[in-house]
Structure 1
Amino acid sequence: MAASFYSKPFNFKNIFEQREFQEADLGKSISNNIQLIIFTRYGEHRFNPDFGCEIWDLDFELIVSETIWEEKFRKSLFRSITEYEKRLYDVTVEVKMSEVEKFYPQRNVTEIKKKVDIVVKGKINSTGEKYFFSTALFLSPLTS
């Protein structure tokens, strides 16, 4: 029997209308779980305080060295993905920080934010297929 994977966000209206949730393929399900790991703070998950990653603690930390910050975040994310995404093996995580400048002409203001690019690569256990996930976050306040 094949496992069912569901798309997020859930449309809870479907429960009340007795309809099925929208399903997702295996790759999309893995990506959803990695996103959940990234956006969950340690201690936030009531039944598993170790679920999540360190981005929330690092977001407002004074960044003295981008290299040290990137490595702390990369290690945190790698540990969580290898622990909580068992459908992948040979996982690698890359984290790269850069600055992005945006000009707002209405206010005549230039805003500089830190951007973090995240790349996760691995192989899917059940098929051996290569897996690739990529996203970018903007820090302080954290946004995607």
Structure 2
Amino acid sequence: MKGKYYQIPINFSRILQKKDMPAILLENSIEQHIHLLITTVLGENKDDPHYGCEWWDTDFDIKASNSEVKEQVENAVKAAITRYEKRITQIKVAAAVNQEELLLADTRQMKKKIQVTVTGNIGKNNHPFQYCSCFFISPLSYD
């Protein structure tokens, strides 16, 4: 179904009931795919071991400075999007890395918070595109 985009995860019960799947906008489809790329470790996709972001290999590198992590994230996200998300052009990736204290089950934990912003243009209509997401690393969790 060329030109139709669907929400992930797929609701297979609708398919089994032979109901139409609700469609989403092109922009939302691109956002979903970028999120999937960013949160996928290289080698996790058995059909394509290069799918995902290579910076996860250094997720637990406690010696890396915030500026090193920022650069790794920006380079890895841009490379992944350039390779796997052909629907956007003029891709720019900016990352911000901060230490944040989290309260988890009556304990305090310091984690690195990564904010990733991707900008570019949608190739199909040349409209500006922006995606922004935050997550914590070591180990991964979402804001």
Aligned position for 1:124: 122
CA drift at 1:92 = 0.2
Q: TM-score, normalised by structure 2?
A: 0.91
CA contact (8 A) 1:5 1:24 kept: yes
Alignment of 1:20-99 (within 5 A): 20-99=20-99
**Which residue identity does 2:133 align to in structure 1?**
T
Q: Return closer, same or farther for 1:42/1:2 CA change in 2, 3 Å cut-off.
A: closer
Distance 1:46 1:102, change over 3 A: closer
Aligned-pair identity (%): 30
Give the partner amino acid of 1:30. I
Aligned residue identity for 1:111: Q
Q: After TM superposition, where is structure 1 displaced by more than 2 Å over at least 4 residues in a row?
A: none
Query: 1:54 & 1:102 partners in 2: Cα distance?
Result: 26
Shift of 1:55: 3.8
> Within 2, Cα distance between the matches of 1:142 and 1:47?
23
Cα distance, 1:69 vs. partner?
Answer: 1.8
Aligned residue number for residue 137 of structure 1: 135
Stretches of structure 2 lacking an aligned partner (at least 5 in a row): none
Moved more, 113-122 or 11-20: 11-20
1:3-18 maps to which residues of 2 (within 5 A)?
A: 3-18=3-18
State the AA in 2 paired with 1:98: N
Deviation readout 1:71-108 (Å, 9 max, x if unpaired): 1121111011011110000000011110112346x73x
